[in-house]
Amino acid sequence: MVSFPSVSRELRALDGVRVAADAPLAPLTTIGTGGKAKLLVTVADAPAVVAALKILETCGIPWSCLGAGSDLLVADAGYAGAVIRLDERLQYIEGLPAAPSGNAQPIIVTVGAATLLAHFAAAAAEAGLAGLEFACAIPGSVGGGVAMNAGAYGRSLADVLEEAELASALGTRWSAAGRLKWEYRRCRLPEGVVVTAARFRLAPDETAAILARHCSILDKRCAVQPQGVRTFGSTFKNPSGGAAGRLLEAAGVKGERRGGAEVSSVHANFVVNRGDASTADVLALMSYMRHRVHETSGVLLEPEVRLLGGSFPWESSADGPRRPPSADG
């Protein structure tokens, strides 16, 4: 049987590692629901990640990595393992030109995995580097963005990534973007790795033109997505040839509630925590949303959000989607 206290002591003895036992995860997610992790392991750099993973895997403790907490749901029962989180020392950007350059050659920029995507996009724009405009309003970290192949408006990180630094219990290595397995809103990373840094290939352009594109995207998102609320972002992936939001709106789910969770009245593919939602509330609402779309259009939506410590309600049924509880019970 695993002794979490003894593992915790081993981890605390490592350089660049901080450990918290029975750590609440809800405050670390953008939706603000869910339980605790047995261990929250905060690491300062890639060598610390490697050392921590060696201990966790030797002791047989399951682990998962947490980025900025968007696109993530944590089960109400929590996570019976270790959650690895990168600290602020992995928030850095290297290789930005001191001033916009007239050179047309692409520039490679190295970024720590804990850096926020929106911050990186803004810094690149100020330096006269284009290619990240689509990411200017994505509420996630670089590492999480690579793992999720984050994107918007027809572009994703796979389009601009040169290579990623991957840390595992065996050490660190740089893997070229072309060797990674990219999918829509997902990168199938090798088993047992954490993204600790990434290099991006960006194109010089006029700062004013880049910032104008940022403003256009930000205005568009503010007009069609809920602002100032607790949400993990898009709930379901866009199906082939369609948009999940349009299917959900046609299914009439806007404003639906389950407990403290509500489908946004602004965008039907966003679930909002009204202040007291549980993950069970969110999952019940997602199940209803998915059922309604299947009922009205025949499409089975797949979640874009990741669930830590549990499974989606419909995954337990071998016969397709089950009818969820009605709104009144």
As a whole number of Å, the CA-based R_g of the chain is: 20
Catalytic residue among 133, 165, 262, 304: 304
CATH for 22: 3.30.43.10
Together in a domain, 262 and 212: no
Q: Are 205 and 147 found together in one domain?
A: yes
Judge whether 249 counts as a catalytic residue. no
Do residue 248 and residue 218 come from a single domain?
no
185 a catalytic residue: yes
Catalytic residue among 18, 155, 185, 221: 185
One digit per residue, the tens of pLDDT, for the chain of length 329 reads 678 999 999 999 999 999 999 999 999 999 999 999 999 999 999 999 999 999 999 999 999 999 999 999 999 999 999 999 999 999 999 999 987 666 778 999 999 999 999 999 999 999 999 999 999 999 899 999 999 999 988 899 999 999 999 999 999 999 999 999 999 888 999 999 999 999 999 999 999 999 999 999 999 988 889 999 999 999 999 999 889 999 999 999 999 999 999 999 999 999 999 999 999 999 999 999 999 999 999 999 999 999 999 999 998 654 444 444 333 33
Q: Are 105 and 62 in contact (CB under 8 A)?
A: no
Same domain, 85 and 100: no
323 catalytic per annotation = no
Both 128 and 151 in a single domain? yes
Boundary residue ending a domain (69, 89, 109) = 89
* One domain, residues 170 and 209: yes
Q: How many independent structural domains does the chain possess?
A: 3
In a shared domain, residues 99 and 211: yes
Give the CATH number, domain containing residue 286: 3.90.78.10
At residue 202, what are phi and psi to the nearest 5 degrees?
-120, 150
Do 100 and 71 lie in a common domain? no
Assigned domain for 236 exists: no
Is residue 151 classed exposed, middle or buried when 0-12, 13-18 and 19+ CB atoms within 10 A define those classes?
middle
Task: Tell if the pTM clears 0.85, that is, is over it.
Answer: yes
* Residue ranges making up the domain that contains 305: 244-316
Selected catalytic residue, list 141, 234, 264, 287: 234
Residue environment code for 256-280, b if the CB has 16+ CB neighbours within 10 A, otherwise e:
bbbebbbbbeebbbbbbbeeebbbb
Asked which of 36, 57, 89 is the last residue of a domain, the reply is: 89
Q: What is the CATH number of the domain that holds 159?
A: 3.30.465.10
Encoding tokens for residue 287?
A: 């199940």
